[in-house]
C-alpha cells in the first residue's frame, strides 16, 4: 500500500526576470488504487508540480514536504525516486537520439528494478504491452521519440509505465493531442495498469474528455500554484459547464 503525501509544497524557478514562485502551498495525498484528476488552466503550475515530485533540477523546493510511505522524496535523487516507485509521463516527452525504444526500455527497467530483466520473459512482456497499446513491433527499433507523432509519444510513455510497474504514476496531459482512438487505447492501458498493480494515479489534465475513459475518485482544481477546490467526479462536470473563471476570480 503506497501513499504519496504532499504538504504545503512551495517551489520556485529562475527566470530572466528573477526568481518566480510557481507552487504556492500544494497539499495532496494519493493512495494506492486511487485516481486523482488535477485540473487547471494553462500556466497554473501543474507541470511544475509533476516535475517537483519527479525531481527536475530546474525547480527549487523552498518549503514543504513530499513523502512516499513516510520516506522523504525530496532528499532522493531522480533515480532513487524512480526506484522508490514514482513514475512521470511527461507532457512533452524528449527525444533521445541514437537510443532505440527497445534499449531504452531495458535500460530503464534495469535501473528501476536493480537487475537486468530475464531476456525471454522481458521480450514477451514488451511485445504484449506493445500489442495492447496497438503499437507496431517495428516501433521498438526506432529511436526514442525521434519523429514520433504526438500519439506515438504518449503511447510510448504508457508503455514505459506498463513495463516499469510504478506504485505512483503522474500522467501530465497524457491526453493532449490525442485523437479519440488513441485516447481510448492510452486510457485502456492506464486502466489495465490500475487493475494489475493497484496503481495510485495523478492525472493532470486540462480537459474533462479523458475522464470519460479514466474514472477519477477525486478531482482537484489547480489554480495559481495550489489546489483551490477538491471534490468527487461531479466537480469535473461542473468545470466542464462553468470553466475556470470562478476559480481565477478567487485567486486574484
Residue 105 to residue 114: CA distance in whole angstroms: 14
List the one residue from 2, 35, 48, 187 that touches ligand ADP (CB under 6 A).
Answer: 48
List the one residue from 45, 55, 85, 93 that touches ligand ADP (CB under 6 A).
Answer: 45
Give 13 or 96: the residue with its C-beta nearer to ligand ADP: 13
Give 38 or 163: the residue with its C-beta nearer to ligand ADP: 38
Coil, helix or strand at residue 90: coil
94 is a site residue for ligand ADP (CB under 6 A): no
Contact 83, 73 (CB under 8 A): no
Residue 129 to residue 192: CA distance in whole angstroms: 10
42 is a site residue for Mg ion (CB under 5 A): yes
Strands (E), 18-81: 18-31, 35-39, 59-68, 71-72
Residue 15 interface partner, choices ligand ADP, Mg ion, none, CB cut-off 5-8 Å depending on type: ligand ADP
List the one residue from 58, 124, 127, 215 that touches ligand ADP (CB under 6 A).
Answer: 58
Q: In the bound complex, what is the minimum distance in angstroms from residue 207's beta carbon to ligand ADP?
A: 13
CB atoms within 10 A of CB 166: 25
Part in contact with ligand ADP (CB under 6 A); list of ranges 40-48, 74-82, 142-150, 184-192: 40-48
Among all residues, whose Cβ is closest to Mg ion?
A: 47
44 is a site residue for ligand ADP (CB under 6 A): yes
CB atoms within 10 A of CB 61: 17
Exposure on the CB side of residue 79, measured as CA atoms within 13 A: 7
Q: State the cell numbers at 40.
A: 487547471
Binding site for ligand ADP (CB under 6 A): 13, 15, 22, 40, 42-48, 58
Amino acid at each position: 500500500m503506497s501513499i504519496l503525501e504532499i504538504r504545503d509544497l512551495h517551489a520556485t524557478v529562475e527566470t530572466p526576470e528573477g526568481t518566480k514562485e510557481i507552487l504556492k502551498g500544494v497539499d495532496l495525498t494519493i493512495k494506492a488504487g486511487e485516481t486523482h484528476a488535477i485540473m487547471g488552466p494553462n500556466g497554473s503550475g501543474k507541470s511544475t508540480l509533476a516535475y517537483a515530485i519527479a525531481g527536475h533540477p530546474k525547480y527549487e523546493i523552498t518549503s514543504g514536504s513530499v513523502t512516499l510511505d513516510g520516506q522523504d522524496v525530496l532528499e532522493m535523487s531522480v533515480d532513487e525516486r524512480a526506484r522508490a516507485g514514482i513514475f512521470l509521463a511527461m507532457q512533452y516527452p524528449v527525444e533521445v537520439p541514437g537510443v532505440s525504444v527497445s534499449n531504452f526500455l531495458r535500460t530503464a527497467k534495469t535501473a528501476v528494478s536493480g537487475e537486468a530483466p530475464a531476456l525471454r520473459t522481458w521480450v514477451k512482456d514488451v511485445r504484449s504491452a506493445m500489442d495492447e497499446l496497438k503499437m507496431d513491433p517495428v516501433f521498438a527499433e526506432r529511436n526514442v521519440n525521434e519523429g514520433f507523432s504526438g500519439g506515438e509519444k504518449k503511447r510510448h510513455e504508457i508503455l514505459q509505465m506498463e513495463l516499469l510497474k510504478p506504485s505512483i504514476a503522474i500522467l501530465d496531459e497524457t491526453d493532449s493531442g490525442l485523437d479519440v482512438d488513441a485516447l481510448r487505447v492510452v486510457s485502456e492501458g492506464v486502466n489495465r495498469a490500475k487493475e494489475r498493480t493497484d496503481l495510485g494515479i495523478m492525472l493532470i489534465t486540462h480537459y474533462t474528455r479523458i475522464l470519460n475513459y479514466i474514472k477519477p475518485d477525486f478531482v482537484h482544481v489547480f489554480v495559481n500554484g495550489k489546489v483551490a477546490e477538491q471534490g468527487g467526479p461531479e466537480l469535473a462536470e461542473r468545470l466542464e459547464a462553468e470553466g475556470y473563471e470562478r476559480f481565477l476570480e478567487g485567486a486574484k
